[in-house]
Amino acid sequence: MVGDETGARATEESDRERPEDCEHSERPGHSERPGHSERPGRSGRPEHGETAIRLDGVTVDFEAVRALADVDLRVGEGEFVTVIGPSGCGKTTMLRAVGGLQAPSEGTVRVGGDPPDRARADGEFGFVFQRHALLPWKSALENVVFLRKMAGKPADREQARDLLETVGLAGFEEARPAELSGGMRQRVAIARALHLGASVLLMDEPFGELDELTREEMGVEVRRVWRDQRKTVLFVTHSVPEAVFLADRCVVMSDDPGEIEAVFDVELPRPRDESVYGTAAFQEQVAAVRTALHEGYELR
C-alpha cells in the first residue's frame, strides 16, 4: 500500500542527519501527526544532544562471509533505536560490535566517545539477550544482584528489589527462573541490566521467544521503564510491529551483506500504551517499515 519509499532510503546520510520521516505527512488523513519540521520539539521525546553510540564504516567479516558492510549509525543519548531485518542480516553482529563482544574488521565503534572495550570496562552496557541467561540456581533477586557483583560493583539489594518492582515482579524476588514464565524471565533480565547502572541497554531480540500478546505487553513495559530510567537503547528484533512500537527511530537492515536499508523516524504518541497498537498511524508506520524490509530482501 505504501509505494513511494524513496525518502526513507537514507542509509548514506544517516550519520549526518536523520533521514526525513518516511511517513508521508502529505497523505490525506495524517495531517494530525506532527510533521518532520517539528521534530526537535516533540512532546515526550528525550533530547538527544549528545551522541551515545557512533558507528563509522563498520564492517565485520566472518572468514569468507561479510556479516556487516560499512554501517554508519548514530544513536543519541536517551534515544530508543530499534534495528530490524531478516535473519542473518547482521543485526545481532552490529549489536555485539557496539557492545565490544565482536571486534569490527573495519571501521570504528565509539560509545560515549570511547572504544567499546573501554566503555564495557566502565560498565556502560547492560545486555539483554534473546535467551534470558538467568542462572537457574539463583532466585530472581539473586540473579539481579549477581551480575552487578560480577561487574565488581557493590550489590544493592534494596535497589534490586525496587527494580524488580519496576518491571512488575514485586513478590517474585525469591522465585527461581524455572518457576517464572518466559515474559517474567525477560523482565528479570531487564531488571538485571538496569541494576548494572549502565547508560546503554543493548537488547538482542529479548522477546523473540514470547507469544505475541506478551510481546506487546512487554513493549509497553519497556517503553515505560526506558522513560523512567533515561537509558539509551539499541534494540534488535525481527518483529515489525515491535520495531515500530518501541522506536524513536527504526533502522531497517538488508542482508548479504548486512547493511542499513533505511532509517525511519517513528511518529507515534509519547508515552505509548497498548492503545497505540490499534491506531491507524501505527498500522501506517508498520506498513512503511515492512515495505522497506521487502525492498531489501531477496528470497534465496
Partner 1 sequence: MSYADRIPAAGVSLPIGALAAGLAAWWALVALLGIPAYLLPTPVAVARRLADRPNLYLRNGTITLRTILAGGAAGVLGGFGAAAVAVHSTVLRRALSPYLVTARVLPKIAVAPLLLVWLGTGAGTALAFVALVAFFPTFVNAAAGLDETPDEYLDLLRSVEAGPVRTFLFVRIPAALPSVFAGLKQSAALAVVGTVVAEWILTDAGLGYLVLLGAENVQTDVVLAAVAVLFAEGMAIYGAVVAVENRVSW
- Which residues would be at the binding site for partner 1 (CB under 8 A)? 99, 101, 120-121, 123, 125-127, 129, 131, 133, 135-137, 146-147, 150-152, 196
2 or 133: whose CB is closer to partner 1?
133
CB of 125 to partner 1, least distance (A): 6
Min dist CB 281 to partner 1, Å, is 36
CA 131 to chain centre: 16
Nearer to partner 1, 8 or 75 (CB): 75
| All cell numbers assigned to 196 | 548494572
In the complex, the smallest distance separating the C-beta of residue 198 from partner 1, rounded to whole angstroms, is 9
Beta carbons within 8 Å of 293's beta carbon, 6+ residues apart: 84, 85, 86, 240, 252, 254, 261
Residue 202 or 252: the one with the smaller Cβ distance to partner 1 is: 202
If the CB atoms of residues 35 and 88 are measured against partner 1, the closer one turns out to be 88
Instruction: State the minimum distance, in angstroms, from the CB of residue 232 to partner 1.
Output: 16
List, in sequence order, every beta strand (DSSP E) within the chain. 51-62, 65-76, 80-84, 106-111, 125-128, 200-204, 232-237, 249-254, 259-265
Q: What is residue 114's three-state secondary structure?
A: strand
In 175-235, where does DSSP find H-type helix? 182-195, 212-229
Say which residues have a Cβ less than 8 Å from residue 132's Cβ, sequence separation at least 6.
177, 182, 185, 186, 188, 189, 206
Closest CA to 167 of 153, 148, 180, 150: 180
What is the closest distance, in whole angstroms, from the C-beta atom of residue 117 to partner 1 in the complex? 9
What pairs with residue 66 in β-bridges? 61
Q: Which is nearer to partner 1, 201 or 222 (CB)?
A: 201
The span from the CA of 141 to the CA of 163, in Å, is 10
Nearer to partner 1, 127 or 245 (CB): 127
| CB of 79 vs partner 1, minimal distance in Å | 21
Q: Which three cell numbers stand for residue 225?
A: 521503564
Phi-psi region of 153 (alpha: psi -120 to 50; beta: other; left: phi over 0): beta
Q: Which residues contact 65 (CB under 8 A, 6 or more apart)?
A: none
How far, in Å, CA of 248 to CA of 150, rounded?
Answer: 32
Residue carrying the nine cell digits 547482521: 90
Q: Which is nearer to partner 1, 167 or 198 (CB)?
A: 198
Shortest distance, CB of residue 105 to partner 1, whole angstroms? 19
Which residue, 193 or 253, has its beta carbon nearer to partner 1?
193
Least distance to partner 1 from the beta carbon of 279, Å?
36
291 CB-near residues (< 8 Å, 6+ apart): 2, 5
